[in-house]
A = this chain, B = another copy of it.
Amino acid sequence: MGLIVQKFGGSSVANAERVMNVANIVTETYKAGNDVIVVVSAQGDTTDDLIEKAREINTHASKREMDMLLSAGEQISISLLAMAIEKIGCPVVSMLGWQAGFQTNSAYSSARIKTIKANRVKAAVDKHQIVVVAGFQGINKYDDITTLGRGGSDTSAVALAAALHADKCQIFTDVEGVFTADPRKVPGAKKLTEITYDEMLELATLGAQVLNNRSVEMGKKYNVEIEVLSSLKRVPGTIVKEVANMEKMLVRGVTKDTNVARISIIDLPDIPGIAFRIFGKLAAKNINVDIILQSVGREGSKDIAFTVSMDCAEDAINLLNEIAELQGKNIVCDTEIAKVSVVGAGMETHPGAAAMMFEALYEQNINIQMISTSEIKISVLIDKADADKAVLAIHNKFIPTES
């Protein structure tokens, strides 16, 4: 009993059969006595198909027009889902982002939600209508349509749950929840019952790809209980909340990220401000730098290495070449690497966690190129070819497979 926001991604509504499946989940929740707001993404490959249509015409289309184009995708899926719910016989109304009151800034294609004027949604909920809301989209102050960027529907759902003080926000995906590692690669991977926002953030950043990061940040900020679960298999998922049941597990997950490039600058003059000039320039161009490592080089010089996501590597190198102090320096970019990480709030109080991780890698004869640690994670950079083997070995070390 209460108000539940349910979010379904593109694969969950990919065809008529899947749409009916979602309608069944929604109406079962409704018939159990809850009010339900559903947030949906565009069907299956719709967004990619629309992007392809645009590319055939203009590869440099303005972002305003791209947002106009792409937001048609959710318009199709919300109306189809509403029709499916009508067929089951429950009262329902679909709403576009602007109708549901999503007001954003004007950063087309990656807009931020400024506020949700949810009075229309609330009025419908008060009449016990199921409300089907288009995720991923809103309008700016010019009444132009904006989109929140890929994965934005998760954010739409959590933001709506926060605005309406919903009891829960359920994110339905094609996996059963958050696992300690990718279950397709690591046979012993376990589904977590609960996880904290911070742990989830680390896992999301590291490539677990279950839940959009901004949605987790928003959930943490407004204390929205988020559940990640499968739309195809009806079993309990993973609950993301402020304080999670620790389950006596040292780590929450082992992840790998192969979409990473390491850029090294060798033999820099050891003068003040050089690091600021490098990373300030990258930040100004919105290039996120992950691990940074500075080491003492030969006499009076130093080496700096850092990682960026693969698709930013070229831009980053071009920017470095603009810096006067780096003229003539040896700048090396390596993309044959992977970042493997263990995440878990339990590690904070367990000084041996890093050692356990390094031991697992040593046993597999895997060389560590860089190391980075935070309170709840340890990441290492290794050869891309060793990544799957490393994840398996580390997982087996921290989370032994039950016999």
Contacts of A83 in B (CB 8 A): 54, 57-58, 61-62, 65-66, 69
Is there an interface contact between A94 and B65, defined as CB atoms closer than 8 Å? Answer: yes
Number of copies: 2
Most chain B CB within 10 A, of A50, A65, A75, A143, is at A65
Contacts of A143 in B (CB 8 A): 99, 120
16 contacts between A and B (CB under 8 A): A19-B57, A50-B76, A57-B80, A57-B83, A57-B87, A61-B86, A62-B83, A68-B75, A68-B79, A68-B82, A68-B96, A71-B75, A72-B75, A72-B76, A99-B143, A120-B143
Q: Mark A36-70, 1 if CB is under 8 A from B, else 0.
A: 00000000000000100110111011101110110
Nearest-neighbor residue (CB-CB) of A139 within chain B: B99
Contacts of A323 in B (CB 8 A): none
Per the bound structure, the CA–CA distance linking A144 and B66 in Å amounts to: 23
| Chain A interface helix/strand/loop/mixed | helix
How far does the Cβ of A304 sit from chain B's closest Cβ, in whole Å?
A: 40
Contacting residue for A82 out of B16, B20, B53, B65, CB 8 A: B65
CB of A84 within 8 A of chain B? yes
Give A contacts to B, CB under 8 Å: 16, 19-20, 50, 53-54, 56-58, 60-62, 64-66, 68-69, 71-73, 75-76, 78-80, 82-84, 86-87, 93-94, 96, 99, 120, 143-145
Per the bound structure, the CA–CA distance linking A203 and B75 in Å amounts to: 37
Is there an interface contact between A57 and B72, defined as CB atoms closer than 8 Å? Answer: no
Is there an interface contact between B57 and A16, defined as CB atoms closer than 8 Å? Answer: yes
Is there an interface contact between A66 and B53, defined as CB atoms closer than 8 Å? Answer: no
Contacts of A57 in B (CB 8 A): 16, 19-20, 80, 83-84, 87
How far does the Cβ of A297 sit from chain B's closest Cβ, in whole Å?
A: 47
Is there an interface contact between A62 and B86, defined as CB atoms closer than 8 Å? Answer: yes
Per the bound structure, the CA–CA distance linking A334 and B120 in Å amounts to: 50
Nearest-neighbor residue (CB-CB) of A145 within chain B: B96
Per the bound structure, the CA–CA distance linking A62 and B89 in Å amounts to: 12
Contacts of A65 in B (CB 8 A): 79, 82-83, 86, 94
Per the bound structure, the CA–CA distance linking A19 and B65 in Å amounts to: 15
Per the bound structure, the CA–CA distance linking A162 and B57 in Å amounts to: 32
On whether A69 and B58 interact (CB within 8 A), knowing A16-B53, A53-B16, the answer reads no
How far does the Cβ of A117 sit from chain B's closest Cβ, in whole Å?
A: 12
Nearest-neighbor residue (CB-CB) of A15 within chain B: B56
Contacts of A66 in B (CB 8 A): 79, 83
Nearest-neighbor residue (CB-CB) of A82 within chain B: B65
How far does the Cβ of A280 sit from chain B's closest Cβ, in whole Å?
A: 32
How far does the Cβ of A15 sit from chain B's closest Cβ, in whole Å?
A: 8
Is there an interface contact between A68 and B78, defined as CB atoms closer than 8 Å? Answer: yes
Per the bound structure, the CA–CA distance linking A161 and B60 in Å amounts to: 31
On whether A72 and B69 interact (CB within 8 A), knowing A57-B87, A80-B57, A86-B61, the answer reads no
Given contacts A16-B57, A66-B83, A69-B76, 16 further A-B contacts (CB under 8 A): A19-B57, A53-B80, A58-B84, A58-B87, A60-B86, A61-B87, A65-B83, A66-B79, A68-B75, A68-B79, A68-B94, A68-B96, A72-B73, A75-B75, A96-B145, A99-B143
Contacting residue for A80 out of B20, B69, B80, CB 8 A: B69
Per the bound structure, the CA–CA distance linking A120 and B120 in Å amounts to: 24
Is there an interface contact between A86 and B58, defined as CB atoms closer than 8 Å? Answer: yes
Contacts of A16 in B (CB 8 A): 53, 56-57
Contacts of A145 in B (CB 8 A): 96
Per the bound structure, the CA–CA distance linking A86 and B99 in Å amounts to: 28
How far does the Cβ of A142 sit from chain B's closest Cβ, in whole Å?
A: 9
